[in-house]
Amino acid sequence: MIDTEKEKRNFPFEKGDQGGFIGFLTYWGLFSHVVKQLQTFSISIQQGFGFRGVNPLNRLVCSRCARQFSPGEKLWSCPCGGLLDLAFESVFPIEKIKKRRPTLWRYREAIPILKDESILTFDEGFTPLLPLVLNGKEVWMKQDHLFPTGSYKDRGASVLMSKVKELGISRVVEDSSGNAGCAIAAYSARGGIRSEIYVPENTSPGKLAQIESYGAVLKKIPGSREDTARAVWEAAQKDYYASHSWNVYFFHGTKTFAFEVWEQLEWKAPDTLILPAGNGTLLLGAFIGFNELMEAGMIREIPKIVGVQSSHCAPLAKAFREGLKDIPKIQAQDTLAEGIAIAEPVRGKQVLEAVKKSGGAFLSVNDEEVKRSLRFASGKGFYLEPTAAATLAGVSQYLRNSDPEEIIVSVFTGHGLKATEKILKILGEA
């Protein structure tokens, strides 16, 4: 007999939410119940022969029409236009994990890449988790600005581009406000894969130079971040779209943030996560990761997730505050936090639902708060780009009403070397 309450916990998104994980999670709940009976045998086969791909839950599923696809198909979206999600069951052999190299790939059984030889890596991951006293309270800060390309986007790029290599794809396109483009360009270079990166023309010069230095073809698009997304769409009809928003494999890279936090907190989940929310690539990845840990019996519940947006571009915060199911149209304004200035997040409804399901909320911060947080971080020895300081400003807001005993984890998302011109201007105002 199927435990319906357990199935609800396994697949927390409701059917009919076209922006969320929709009905496929409920559908896969029934399939998962049957398949779990075979899991022990499957795992023993994987461990005995060193083969990573024997996972009967490894299927792409459309969030709109529920059509299923093999992960061997070269798809980044459903033919119907719907977002693809990945039905995948992770395994966490703790004793094996402890003996592996300190990279995100130490959680090998939880990453949906079939063959080890497909992996594209710079030994990234397992970034330091350090305590920081802010407003008299201790917060744990994950230093993801120390990744090879200077941002957490390397998590998603490593896994996504490994999948690209595994699929035998030789050319990709991507659109980005900067950091994701840097990451995709770097890992493309690592794998000998050609890349074409579309960015808003007002992207920080340091990020543009970084993208071009990896040998990527750079396309600077006038207008907003959304104009850039529209520009890449035509190219994505003929070349594989290595998107950090559309492509589900990117999220199965960013979910390793959750695994590392769990291990670094001595195999426990924090009470609260405070994370940036532009396209929600880290936030949604963290939700997926902690949900997989819970389903594997490693933790009892997922942390409360608090998303931070710029007050100049905060569609998710507006939707949450007003109790909306759809992400509203907004008029975005210029902001120092360019990396989270996303007026039309592709997976916005999924991000909104993840925060709600975790019992969390959204906060918005203005540019003055960003500046103060940037100066504070610099005074503590952390050189951050303004977008990373926006998350720290959100932490400062949250702490005003937090529980003194609450275990809070946040993140430094991007290095200051990516935004030298902006930082010089901010310092000049001091």
Tell me if 341 sits within 8 A of 312, measured CB to CB. Answer: yes
| DSSP class of 11 | S
156, 226, 229, 366, 392 from 179: Cα distances, Å:
11, 16, 15, 21, 18
For range 311-321, the mean pLDDT: 98
Phi, psi of 83 (to 5 degrees): -70, 140
| DSSP class of 129 | E
For position 36, what pLDDT does the model report? 42
DSSP reduced 3-state for 292:
helix
Instruction: Please write the tens of the pLDDT for every residue from 37-61.
Output: 334 333 333 333 233 333 556 899 9
For position 3, what pLDDT does the model report? 40
The pTM for the full model equals 0.88
For range 391-419, the mean pLDDT: 97
Tell me if 46 sits within 8 A of 110, measured CB to CB. Answer: no
**CA-CA distance, 420 to 415, in Å (whole number)?**
10
Domain residue spans of the chain: 1-89, 153-241
| Residue 3: both structure tokens together | 């435990």
**CA-CA distance, 332 to 223, in Å (whole number)?**
12
Mean pLDDT across the chain: 89
Tell me if 332 sits within 8 A of 313, measured CB to CB. Answer: yes
For range 385-404, the mean pLDDT: 97
Tell me if 352 sits within 8 A of 306, measured CB to CB. Answer: no
For position 152, what pLDDT does the model report? 98
Instruction: Please write the tens of the pLDDT for every residue from 336-393.
Output: 999 999 999 999 999 999 999 999 999 999 999 999 999 999 999 999 999 999 999 9
Select from 213, 225, 220, 280 the least CA-distant residue to 250.
Answer: 280
Alpha helices in 50-173 (DSSP H): 94-98, 153-166
82, 118, 288, 313, 347 from 25: Cα distances, Å:
15, 28, 12, 30, 16
For range 390-410, the mean pLDDT: 97
Tell me if 150 sits within 8 A of 124, measured CB to CB. Answer: no
Instruction: Please write the tens of the pLDDT for every residue from 129-154.
Output: 999 999 999 999 999 999 999 999 99
Owner of token pair 């520009």: 231
4, 91, 290, 291, 368 from 297: Cα distances, Å:
17, 10, 11, 10, 43
Tell me if 174 sits within 8 A of 241, measured CB to CB. Answer: yes
CATH of 153-241 given 3.60.21.10, 3.30.930.10, 3.40.50.1100, 3.90.1310.10: 3.40.50.1100
